[in-house]
């Protein structure tokens, strides 16, 4: 059997970065290279119904090998990597028997994983770490999940004595840009419930996430020669800055944690004539999210009264909701995962996701879908790392989830 580590190292060699500016689905053709490879690998493992559809969704079934009928479980992971940093030409570095100290990633660029910055590293002393070379992200989000699911399929196919119910496997594109399940057919997938294998550190078990909205504010300025601008010029950049200053600074991502929501200015571009701000707005409590949206609207209206109704335009809309509302109706699936972790010797870390997953949207589409750890840390950047031992434990937990229902 190919190890989960070897699978992971092979998958991160594929550049699968998604593109939020693209209108195609998937957003980048290069994702399809790995998705087609996964479909072929599943068939090579004897999973005869493995398919990839026009949107890049890979689906497959490992049939039950027990006599009684039990609920069908699904495991899902996404292949794309974040647009935040390059995922091309990834060169993983393997640190065996980690000594608990700082790790030099790139001498030439003076990039190191420092324990002072990432104290969680100390918990992995003696283990095998996989890091970047300091020039790209690693891709553990979520190629670790892909590798772990593929290893489990490989195990089930080569160990017919391991008794399990029916497993549905799904691999998706474009999760990182919020489109991962836009065209996902829950009925076709055929699971009663599922788990996204897309979490972080070992033990993470998540069934609640942010409610999410996005907002775009366009500012129409009036550009006049600065020598003759008195009482005439409207500087769109200044007005945009004034708007941002009206939002509470304590409700920014860098000042919030746990269940605290935020306004996050993710992009700002402008000239005197035109400016544009993009925000994401987050809160675990939907009523608080609605209040945040209302407050932003009131700030825009205030400045519109000051500068003119045609100067500011606000576009705002919801993106996804807290899956807790759905999962609590099927809480036994959280308990199944919790017991599977305990059986594997993993301490469950049940906490809210300060973000979102495909599972949140799938839960509202009729497929209850909590999130389980992959073992990775510091996703989306050059400080990303994962341990071999955590990946192996994720595989063990998945096997326990399948076996625990017997």
Which residues participate in catalysis according to the annotation?
80, 175
Report the C-alpha gap between 142 and 148 in whole angstroms: 10
Q: Contact, 405 vs 69, CB < 8 A?
A: no
Report the C-alpha gap between 226 and 106 in whole angstroms: 47
* 343 Cβ contact partners less than 8 Å away, ≥ 6 residues apart: 400, 404
Q: Give the β-pairing of 204-206 and 349-350.
A: parallel
| CA-atom Rg of the chain in angstroms | 23
* 108 Cβ contact partners less than 8 Å away, ≥ 6 residues apart: none
Q: Contact, 371 vs 359, CB < 8 A?
A: yes
- Give the chain's end-to-end CA distance (angstroms, integer): 25
Report the C-alpha gap between 276 and 353 in whole angstroms: 29
Q: What is the dihedral of CA 340, 345, 348, 349, to 10 degrees?
A: -150
Q: Give the β-pairing of 193-199 and 73-78.
A: parallel
Report the C-alpha gap between 2 and 41 in whole angstroms: 12
CA 215, 278, 199, 353 torsion: positive or negative? Answer: negative
Question: Which pair of tokens denotes residue 372?
Answer: 């389980």
Report the C-alpha gap between 114 and 359 in whole angstroms: 33
Report the C-alpha gap between 386 and 137 in whole angstroms: 12
Report the C-alpha gap between 83 and 87 in whole angstroms: 8
């Amino acid at each position: 059997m190919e190890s989960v580590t070897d699978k992971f190292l092979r998958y991160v060699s594929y550049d699968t970065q998604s593109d939020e500016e693209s209108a195609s689905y998937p957003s980048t053709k290069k994702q399809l290279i790995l998705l087609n490879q996964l479909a072929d690998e599943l068939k090579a493992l004897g999973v005869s119904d493995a398919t990839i559809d026009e949107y890049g969704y890979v689906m497959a079934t490992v049939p039950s090998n027990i006599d009684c009928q039990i609920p069908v479980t699904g495991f899902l992971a996404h292949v794309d990597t974040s647009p935040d940093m390059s995922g091309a030409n990834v060169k993983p570095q393997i640190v065996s028997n980690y000594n608990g100290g700082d790790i030099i990633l790139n001498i030439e660029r003076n990039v190191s994983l420092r324990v002072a910055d990432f104290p969680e590293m100390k918990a992995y002393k003696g283990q095998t770490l996989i890091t970047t070379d300091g020039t790209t992200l690693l891709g553990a989000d979520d190629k670790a999940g892909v590798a772990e699911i593929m290893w489990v399929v490989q195990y089930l196919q080569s160990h017919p004595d391991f008794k399990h119910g029916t497993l549905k496997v799904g691999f998706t594109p474009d999760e990182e840009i919020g489109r991962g399940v836009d065209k996902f057919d829950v009925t076709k997938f055929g699971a009663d419930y599922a788990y996204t294998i897309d979490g972080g550190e070992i033990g993470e078990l998540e069934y609640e996430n942010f409610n999410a909205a996005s907002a775009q504010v366009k500012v129409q300025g009036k550009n006049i020669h600065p020598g003759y601008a008195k009482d005439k010029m409207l500087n769109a950049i200044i007005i945009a800055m004034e708007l941002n200053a009206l939002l509470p600074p304590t409700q920014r991502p860098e000042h919030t944690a746990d269940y605290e929501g935020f306004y996050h200015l993710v992009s700002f571009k402008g000239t005197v004539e035109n400016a544009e701000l993009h925000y994401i707005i987050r809160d675990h409590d939907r009523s608080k999210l609605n209040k945040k949206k209302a407050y932003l609207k009131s700030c825009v209206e205030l400045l519109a009264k000051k500068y003119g109704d045609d100067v500011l335009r606000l576009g705002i809309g919801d993106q996804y909701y807290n899956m807790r509302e759905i999962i609590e109706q099927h809480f036994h699936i959280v308990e199944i995962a919790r017991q599977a972790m305990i059986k594997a010797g993993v301490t469950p870390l049940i906490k809210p996701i300060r973000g979102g997953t495909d599972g949140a949207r799938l839960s509202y589409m009729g497929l209850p879908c909590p999130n389980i750890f992959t073992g990775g840390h510091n996703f989306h950047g050059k400080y990303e790392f994962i341990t071999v031992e955590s990946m192996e434990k994720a595989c063990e937990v998945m096997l326990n989830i399948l076996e625990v229902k017997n």
